[in-house]
Amino acid sequence: MLYFLTDLMVLGSINSIMVVGLNLQYGYAGLLNFAFYIYVAIGAYIAAVTTMGPSTTPGISYALGWTLPWWAGLIIGGLVSAAFGTLVFLLTVRRLRSDYLAIVTVAVAFIVWNLIDTYQPLFDGDTGLFNVPQITGNASISTEGYSAIILALSAACLAVSVWVSRRIFRSPFGRLLRSIREDEQVTAAFGRASWRPQIAVFMVGSFLAGIAGGLLIFYISAWSPSAFLPLESFILLAALIVGGSGNYWGSLLGAFVLIEGLGEISRYVPSFGNGADVGALRQVVIGLVLILMLRYRPEGIIPERWLRWYRTRQPAPAAAGAAGPAPDGGPVPAASPRPAPGPVASPRPGPAAAGPDGVLLDIRDVTYSYGGARAVAGCSFAVGRGTVTGLIGPNGAGKSTLVEILSGRLAPQSGEVLLDGRSIGGLGPVAVSRLGVARTFQTARVLPQLPVIENVMIAAPAQRGEGPLAAVLWQRGWRGQETALREEAVELLGWLGLGSHLDRPAGSLSGGQRRLMEIARALMARPRLLLMDEPTAGVYPETSQLIARRVREIAAAGVTVLVIAHNMTFLSWAADDVVVMAEGRVLTRGPLQQAREHKDVIAAYLGVAAGESHGPRPSSVGGGE
Amino acid sequence: MSHLLQAIGFGVVTASIVALAAVAVSLQISVTNFFNFAFGDFMSFGAYVAWTANREGVNFFLSVLLGGIAVGLLGMLANRLVFRPFMRRRVRPVTLLIAGVGLSFVVQDALILIWSPAPRRFPLNLGQAMHLGPFLLTPGDLIMIGASAVLLLLLHLMLGYTKFGKAIRATSNNIDLAQSCGINCDQVISLTWFIAGLLTAVAGVGLVLQESTLSPTTGFTELFVIFGAVILGGIGRPYGAMLGALIVGVLTEVSGAYLNAAYKTSIAFGVVVVLLLFRPQGLIKARGLIS
Amino acid sequence: MTVLRAEGITAGYDGPPVLDEVTVAAEPGKTTVILGPNGAGKSTLAKAIAGLLRIRAGRVLLAGADITGLASYRLVRRGLGYLPQLANVFDDMSVLENLEMGGYTLAGGLQRRIAQVLELFPDLGADKAKKAGALSGGQQRMLALARLLMTEPVAAVLDEPTAGLSPLYAGRVWDQIDRVRDTGVGLLVVEQNATLAMEHADSVCLLAQGRNVLSGTAEQLRDRAEVARILVG
């Protein structure tokens, strides 16, 4: 009985290490890797061939055949798995749809499996390896005793894995992974590229897989291709999803319940029919449970949001003299607690202002065409430091395209964009945002599964602890930073009326609340230039007023704002002057009232009569900007 | 040289089976836009139903038809119960793939429960292999090629000349516009699953005849060969899938003849990997189903 | 006598409603143009009437019958046509097949109807076998209009039919719309280009911030400064 329990615990622990590793890849980073079990197999094989010495039996051949101590074999197995995992990741890190990527990993798994199964000299083909030495060496020890030793070792490895998972989860690195998982583009818009963190987490996950494989082979002493059918990866994934992806306790639950638990229960089901039934029944159950969970509780039994990390200490109640609740947000302090102009930090010091005095952004003759349609056709204007400039114009004028160019998502096809004298055209969103440009989007883009406060914290520039080593080994370096960032985010959110929504998943915010959150997020990046694309579309008038007030305070703090808007009331509150665009170029510039009454502007908004034309314009399909 | 030609001949037989399956997959993807991972198991299911009916004394061709109807109904059921609820909620494509994995577990292991995991023999001895020019084929092979050609021709005629076939093409091209034309797209999708199911079952039976054995994993192991053909021809393009099947079928047979036959499946998988990574739009220009 | 009437329509996406108790109507053989500044909700209104968006309050009447909330594929049989702003042809199918799809719900006489429609759109007849995707933008609009006519709808909603077209082609499309109107269909046309639209409109309805702000006949509104003010915002 004890032996049976020990066996259960050993396998449960080893499976848990695997699921924890998979959780790092899929739960944390959203990377689906169906080849996962191959990494386990590689770890097992390498651990074996580095410790069992050369083959002494004729007909059995395998690579290496070293005689290193068991712990070296184990670690080398982990490292080789990590290396292989990295290779697969580099191969597949292309702009593929997520399910096609997953299919590629299944294919890779089959190919490797086929190779190992067929190519004898590698790991002895389909016969596999036997008599892998025990970690206790030649010491004679009972089966139960050995199991206990392996159990201790596995449990220790599991504890370390969970500890590493937890560290990563709470660190800026973990937050960065979650952010990439939710929305890569938004993450890039706030200065962070995806592939380095993704590779890092892939390596760690694969390493854990390798370690688990090594532990397995030291326990069972044998391994062959029939033991690691690519099917096993699916079962691990099912365990992860059912247990709760993203939450390392969920990984343990999934491993023990779905894999071990179901396995053990099936022992007690009386055998019926033709023998293999119980195993098949288990698979059917796993399949059904997986589908049902995906449908009704995709976050799993123990969801990510249950990790206590998410609960923030409630901030002090809003300052007295609230301006009254806005329908979109909670009570809003009429005056912020700090002396004016609010918790907006002055913009990050950039390179010494090289532009002509007072000009932060200089757009020179920029053009951009989508296929045959010219969206921006020789647009030029300059924006003064610390001002709020509105950008208006009829549909199709090229305003949104221009903002995409300014934020780095599109490269101008001709012309220049200068930020403080420095050319930023074509640098890409990550580089441009690091130079001090932040933005809000036409349809507010939040990271839906993450709490509001995390959504904002991700934007802070230059955070320590965003790499895996720093995250795990140097907590001292980023702990203080986390507290400071959190306070800053809380203050910013309170300033925008979201003080009582800090821990809610951002996906549950209303449209207006999302827009407010986007502003907080953009300010967290301490930008020099803030680009806003229709920040008041779809919000209640009171919120629109609030946003206008805040925009003025932001500018007073030294941030330059360029805002696309259609709501003239909002612009009359918020903007110093406006630039009017039509047909891809600037029509006029000046105070809002003047622009509204300018006859060319009116004509642009009213449209042209048949046969008239304001210059060559290719016939093209497609509305929108 | 004759060795090569013979291999090509086998390739054409394989291709005719793969073509049916690949066209079925493409047809389904063209209206639903995701890969059904349980597809291979649908093939096995069709083969099992046909085998059971045949064993009970039903005429062979009628058995295959029964298998077709069974898979057609299974597809409609899977669409209704599993996939459509997910699609209505606009989940990530990965979720649909994983749901397909779950479905694959259920179907494949249900097959084991109902029919036992032991491989069955499904011999259809229609005579010895004959030499037809440089090729070496059995009458069974010829029937397979013929059946495949006929079914694909019928499908082509349906898609190109019947009202319903055009409704399928309209739905796959622009579902909102199709709705505005008065087409009940939910119904169209359902029936497309049924038609795809018919083809799937015939392909499953063809597979089994080629290998002479039927086991619960028969279809699943062919899955990637079929996916390879689908991707090669352009995802969601049934006509491309036919070409893709020809290429994949011949390629795997020829390479299997010259390399170790055990690597045959790896080559198919390798094709899938290379294609998805470097040319996911296929050899022929496909529509934008890639992100 | 209105043939299509949307009254008190409140509808939107998430959050506050985009449309707030909007009422528009179309009469047989007349064109009602819906204008408004950006964000006024014009496209949302078109989608709501065409059954593509859930209506929270209000109703849509077609020839007196209440069609509110009907699934979009049922509306064609009731006699309502819809021309979406983007992706308004089956680009993988030929011109002829596009028309056949337009006539999907016809009980019989498909070929006869196609011939009739092609008389109204002579340019399309020359390209019957061409794939719709290979046509120019202006021709695609013509095809979309022709497709809509296949079922002889009593009323139709057109969402920015001249978007993205050069002024020359926009004029031609409008001429074609006039011809469609003259066959007796009641038209609701959402448009961005107010000047051109008002040259062809019988009545005009101005929306701003999701509400009706002004309406009248085209003559009444043609030169009023108010219109310009509302459109600029």
Q: What is the pLDDT of residue B124?
A: 65
> Which positions ≥6 away from C219 have C-beta within 8 Å?
none
Cis ω before A341 (30° cut-off from 0): yes
Give the residue from A520, A463, A464 showing the smallest Cα distance to A491.
A520
> Which positions ≥6 away from A476 have C-beta within 8 Å?
none
To test the contact with chain C by mutation, choose from A544, A592, A621, A625 the residue with the greatest count of C C-beta atoms within 10 A, namely A621
> pLDDT band for position A340 (50/70/90)?
very low
Q: Which of C166, C197, C231 sits opposite A619 (nearest CB)?
A: C166
CA-CA distance, A169 to A247, in Å (whole number)?
A: 9
Q: What is the pLDDT of residue A333?
A: 42
> Please, are residues B110 and B97 in contact by the beta-carbon 8 Å criterion?
no
Which pLDDT tens digit goes with each residue over C13-54?
776 788 999 999 999 999 999 999 887 889 999 999 998 888
The answer for A418, left when phi > 0, alpha when psi is -120 to 50, beta otherwise, is beta
Q: Which of A510, A539, A608 sits opposite C167 (nearest CB)?
A: A608
Give A335-347 as a 3 state SS string.
CCCCCCCCCCCCC
Per-residue pLDDT for B197 more than 80? yes
> What integer is the mean pLDDT of C211-222?
88
For residue A363, the cross-strand partners are A381, A417
Touching C: which chains, 3+ CB pairs < 8 A? A, B
Q: What is the distance in angstroms between the CA of the first residue and the CA of the last residue of chain C?
A: 33
DSSP state letter for A133: P
Q: Which residue of A has its CA nearest to C191?
A: A607
Per-residue pLDDT for A588 more than 60? yes
Residue A35's φ and ψ, nearest 5 degrees, are -90, 10
B84 vs chain A: nearest CA distance in angstroms?
11
Q: C228: which chain A residues are within 8 Å (Cβ-Cβ)? A: 602, 605-606
Q: Do A608 and C196 touch (CB under 8 A)?
A: yes
Q: What is the pLDDT of residue A337?
A: 37
Q: Which residues of B touch A (CB under 8 A)?
A: 34-35, 82, 85-86, 91-99, 101-106, 108-110, 112-113, 116-118, 224, 227, 260, 262-263, 265-266, 269-270, 272-273, 276-277, 280, 289-291
Per-residue pLDDT for B220 more than 80? yes
Q: Do A290 and B265 touch (CB under 8 A)?
A: no
Q: Which comes out higher in pLDDT, residue A66 or C178?
A: C178
For residue A381, the cross-strand partners are A363
In sign, the C-alpha dihedral spanning A189, A190, A191, A197 is negative
To test the contact with chain B by mutation, choose from C82, C98, C101, C149 the residue with the greatest count of B C-beta atoms within 10 A, namely C101
> pLDDT band for position A2 (50/70/90)?
confident
Q: Which of A94, A276, A290 sits opposite B277 (nearest CB)?
A: A94
Give A289-353 as a 3 state SS string.
HHHHHHHHCCCCCCCHHHCHHHCCCCCCCCCCCECCCCCCCCCCECCCCCCCCCCCCCCCCCCCC
3 state SS of C129: coil
Tally of CB atoms within 10 A around A367: 18
> Please, are residues A240 and A23 in contact by the beta-carbon 8 Å criterion?
yes
DSSP state letter for B80: I
Residue A302's φ and ψ, nearest 5 degrees, are -110, 95
A602 vs chain C: nearest CA distance in angstroms?
6
User: What is the distance of C-alpha A401 from the center of its chain?
Assistant: 25
Q: Do A97 and B290 touch (CB under 8 A)?
A: yes
Per-residue pLDDT for A478 more than 70? yes
Q: Which residue of B has its CA nearest to A238?
A: B102
Which pLDDT tens digit goes with each residue over A553-564?
999 999 999 999
Q: Do A607 and C195 touch (CB under 8 A)?
A: yes
Q: Do A107 and B260 touch (CB under 8 A)?
A: no
3 state SS of A240: helix
CA atoms within 13 A on the CB side of B51: 24
CA-CA distance, A245 to A254, in Å (whole number)?
A: 9
> Please, are residues A351 and A422 in contact by the beta-carbon 8 Å criterion?
yes
Q: Do C171 and A394 touch (CB under 8 A)?
A: no
Q: Do A606 and C199 touch (CB under 8 A)?
A: no
Per-residue pLDDT for A529 more than 60? yes
Tally of CB atoms within 10 A around C116: 14
Hunting for tokens 């009972």 — which residue is that? A142
- ipTM of the shown complex: 0.91
3 state SS of A274: coil
3 state SS of C11: strand
Which pLDDT tens digit goes with each residue over A319-330?
433 333 444 544
Q: Do C97 and B182 touch (CB under 8 A)?
A: no
Q: C91: which chain B residues are within 8 Å (Cβ-Cβ)? A: 173-174
Instruction: Please provide the DSSP assignment of B83-131 as one string.
Output: IHHHHHTT--HHHHHHHHHHHHHHHHHHHHHHH-SS-EE--------EE
Q: C101: which chain B residues are within 8 Å (Cβ-Cβ)? A: 166-167, 170, 178, 181, 183
Q: Do A110 and B224 touch (CB under 8 A)?
A: yes
Amino acid at B231: I
Query: A251 vs A16, A85, A248, A545, CA distance in Å?
Result: 6, 20, 5, 47
> Which positions ≥6 away from C188 have C-beta within 8 Å?
C4, C24, C26, C32, C34, C46, C49, C155, C156, C157, C158
> pLDDT band for position A351 (50/70/90)?
low
Per-residue pLDDT for A312 more than 60? no
Give the residue from B128, B34, B120 showing the smallest Cα distance to B83.
B34
Helix and strand numbers (H, E) in chain B are 12, 4
Q: A95: which chain B residues are within 8 Å (Cβ-Cβ)? A: 291
- pLDDT, averaged across chain A: 85
pTM: 0.88
Q: What is the distance in angstroms between the CA of the first residue and the CA of the last residue of chain B?
A: 43
A390 lies within 8 A of chain C by CB: no
Which pLDDT tens digit goes with each residue over A246-287?
999 999 999 998 888 877 777 777 666 655 677 788 889 999
> Please, are residues A609 and A603 in contact by the beta-carbon 8 Å criterion?
no
Q: C160: which chain A residues are within 8 Å (Cβ-Cβ)? A: 623
A93 lies within 8 A of chain B by CB: no
Q: C14: which chain A residues are within 8 Å (Cβ-Cβ)? A: 510-511
Q: Which comes out higher in pLDDT, residue C186 or A1?
A: C186
CA-CA distance, C151 to C103, in Å (whole number)?
A: 6
Q: What is the pLDDT of residue A311?
A: 55
> pLDDT band for position B272 (50/70/90)?
confident
Instruction: Please provide the DSSP assignment of B121-185 as one string.
Output: E--------EEETTEEE-HHHHHHHHHHHHHHHHHHHHHHHSHHHHHHHHHHH-HHHHHHTT--H
Take residue C66 and report the two structure tokens written for it: 């209440």
Take residue C85 and report the two structure tokens written for it: 């702003």
Which pLDDT tens digit goes with each residue over A589-622?
999 999 988 989 988 888 877 666 554 444 333 3
Calculate what percentage of chain B has a pLDDT beyond 70: 94
Q: Do A290 and B105 touch (CB under 8 A)?
A: yes
DSSP state letter for B216: T
Q: What is the distance in angstroms between the CA of the first residue and the CA of the last residue of chain A?
A: 72
A90 lies within 8 A of chain B by CB: no
A58 lies within 8 A of chain C by CB: no
> pLDDT band for position A335 (50/70/90)?
very low
Which pLDDT tens digit goes with each residue over A120-154?
888 888 888 887 888 887 777 888 888 889 999 99
| Domains of chain A with bracketed CATH | 8-308 (no CATH), 323-347+436-529+539-559 (3.40.50.300)
Q: What is the pLDDT of residue A582?
A: 92
Q: Just give the CATH number of C4-90+154-232.
A: 3.40.50.300
Calculate what percentage of chain C has a pLDDT beyond 70: 99
Q: What is the pLDDT of residue A616?
A: 44
Q: What is the pLDDT of residue C90?
A: 95
Rounding to the nearest 10 degrees, give the CA dihedral for residues B133, B135, B136, B137: -100
CA-CA distance, B178 to C59, in Å (whole number)?
A: 24
Take residue B272 and report the two structure tokens written for it: 């899938």
For residue C156, the cross-strand partners are C81, C187
Which pLDDT tens digit goes with each residue over A44-97?
999 999 988 887 777 777 877 788 888 999 999 999 999 999 988 887 766 667
> What integer is the mean pLDDT of B17-21?
93
Give the residue from A498, A394, A373, A494 showing the smallest Cα distance to A446.
A498
Query: A14 vs A44, A218, A243, A595, B181, CA distance in Å?
Result: 12, 11, 16, 70, 57
Q: Which of B34, B95, B109 sits opposite A294 (nearest CB)?
A: B95
Q: Which residue of C has its CA nearest to B170?
A: C90
Q: Which 153-192 residues of chain B touch chain C by CB within 8 A?
A: 163, 166-167, 169-170, 173-174, 176-185
CA atoms within 13 A on the CB side of A226: 5
Size of interface A-B (CB pairs under 8 A): 135
Q: What is the pLDDT of residue A516?
A: 95
Which pLDDT tens digit goes with each residue over B102-161?
999 999 999 988 888 888 887 666 667 777 777 777 877 888 899 999 999 999 999 999
Q: What is the pLDDT of residue A36?
A: 92
Q: Which residue of B has its CA nearest to C77?
A: B182
Hunting for tokens 């009017």 — which residue is that? A580
> pLDDT band for position A436 (50/70/90)?
very high
B291 vs chain A: nearest CA distance in angstroms?
5
**Parallel, antiparallel, or unpaired: how do β-strands A437-439 and A529-533 relate?**
parallel
Q: A608: which chain C residues are within 8 Å (Cβ-Cβ)? A: 167, 193, 195-196
The radius of gyration computed from the CA coordinates of chain C, to the nearest angstrom, equals 17
To test the contact with chain A by mutation, choose from B97, B217, B226 the residue with the greatest count of A C-beta atoms within 10 A, namely B97
> Please, are residues A18 and A255 in contact by the beta-carbon 8 Å criterion?
yes
CA-CA distance, A510 to A374, in Å (whole number)?
A: 35
Give the residue from A121, A115, A122 showing the smallest Cα distance to B260.
A115
- Among A385-394, A610-619, C200-209, name the one with the lowest average pLDDT: A610-619
CA-CA distance, C173 to A434, in Å (whole number)?
A: 48
Q: What is the pLDDT of residue B212?
A: 79
Take residue A492 and report the two structure tokens written for it: 């910013």
Q: Which of A373, A395, A619 sits opposite C138 (nearest CB)?
A: A619
**Parallel, antiparallel, or unpaired: how do β-strands C186-190 and C31-35 relate?**
parallel
> Which positions ≥6 away from A98 have C-beta within 8 Å?
A30, A32, B92, B93, B94
Q: What is the pLDDT of residue A274?
A: 58
